[in-house]
Amino acid sequence: MSHRLAIVCLLCIAVAAAAPSHASKIYRWTDHNGVVHYGDHAPDSSVAGKSRVTTIPVHAEPGAMARLRLESSNGRYFAWADNTLAGPIEVMLQLAHNDNIVGDPPLPARATVPARGSALVAVLAIADPHRGGGFELRLDPIPGDPSAKPLDVDYQLPLRQTALRIDQGYGGSFSHSDPQNRYAVDFAAAIGTPVLAARGGVVMQVESDFEKAGLNLEKYGGRANFVRILHDDGTMGLYAHLDLDGVLVRVGQRVRTGQQIGRSGNTGFTTGPHLHFAVQVNRGMRLLSIPFRMSGPGGPLRIAGGQ
Instruction: Please give the average per-residue pLDDT across 128-132, as a whole number.
Output: 86
Fold (topology level) of 154-300: Glucose Permease (Domain IIA) (2.70.70)
pLDDT, position 245: 86
218 three-class SS: helix
Mean pLDDT of the chain: 80
Q: Do 131 and 101 contact (CB within 8 A), yes or no?
A: no
pLDDT > 90 in the chain, percent: 48
Q: Are 230 and 253 contacting, i.e. CB atoms less than 8 angstroms apart?
A: no
Residue 257: DSSP 8-state: T
| Tens digits of residue pLDDT in 47-85 | 656 667 776 554 444 568 999 999 988 889 999 999 999
- How far is Cα 157 from Cα 289, in angstroms, rounded to an integer? 17
Instruction: Identify the pLDDT of residue 270.
Output: 67
Name the residue type at position 234: G
Render pLDDT for 133-185 as a digit per residue (tens, 0 to 9).
888 999 999 999 999 999 999 999 999 988 888 777 566 555 566 878 788 88
For the chain, domain boundaries: 5-17+62-143, 25-57, 154-300
Whether 194 has a pLDDT exceeding 60, the answer reads yes
Which residues are within 8 A (CB) of 160 and not within 5 positions of it... i.e. 6 or more apart? 193, 194, 196, 260
SS3 56: strand
pLDDT interval class at 221 (50, 70, 90): low
d(CA 281, CA 288): 5
- Is 87's pLDDT higher than 90? yes
Cα 50 from chain centre: 40
* Fold match, 5-17+62-143 / 154-300: no
Q: Is 209 within 8 Å of 266 (Cβ atoms)?
A: no
Q: What is the widest separation between alpha-carbon atoms in the chain?
A: 77
Residue 227 has pLDDT above 90, yes or no: yes
pLDDT of 9-61, one tens digit each?
Answer: 444 332 232 333 333 455 666 767 766 565 556 776 666 566 677 765 544 44
Hey, is 81 helix, strand or coil? strand
5-17+62-143 adopts what CATH topology? Answer: Immunoglobulin-like (2.60.40)
Pairing of strands 109-113, 260-264: unpaired
Q: Considering only 80-89, 262-271, 280-289, which range has the smallest mean pLDDT? A: 262-271
* % residues pLDDT > 70 (the chain): 71
